Amino acid sequence: MAPAQAVRAALAANPSVRYTANQPRKVVYAADGAPVLGYEAVLAGVKADRTPSRLHVVTDANTGRILAGDDEIKQLIGVATGRSSAARPGSGSRTGLAATGTGRTEYSGAVSL
């Protein structure tokens, strides 16, 4: 399988988001047991809810099968509400969950959260 085929396979496995892909790199994928030669492509895009996405997709270099995928941009989901706490345009809020307690900073010492 050529690197360009690996990118096409990764893009085809994720049709709901319009991604752009980088040049894939060769990797040895061994998370599921025996090592397998593969290609890792990083797909960058924006999901339907306007959350950015940087999806890492590992494709088997021999068969073209998708071995793994992981989005490096995680979305925080509120435990109490079950809703995404990602910022909404005009909301004036970065998150829907407030931290409480005491934090520690290098310059100010203990600070209230």
Instruction: Extract the residue ranges of the chain whose pLDDT is less than 70.
Output: 14-17, 77-99
pLDDT at 64: 87
CB distance 19 to 45 below 8 Å: yes
CATH code for the domain of 58: 3.10.450.40
pLDDT at 92: 42
CA angle 59-37-73, nearest 5°?
45
CA distance 35 to 41: 18
98 domain-assigned: no
* Number of domains the chain contains: 1
Determine the structural domain holding residue 66 and report its residue range: 3-91
pLDDT at 90: 43
- Token pair for 96: 């829907």
110 domain-assigned: no
Burial of 64 (0-12, 13-18, 19+ CB in 10 A): middle
pLDDT (tens digit per residue) in 73-94: 887 765 555 555 454 444 444 4
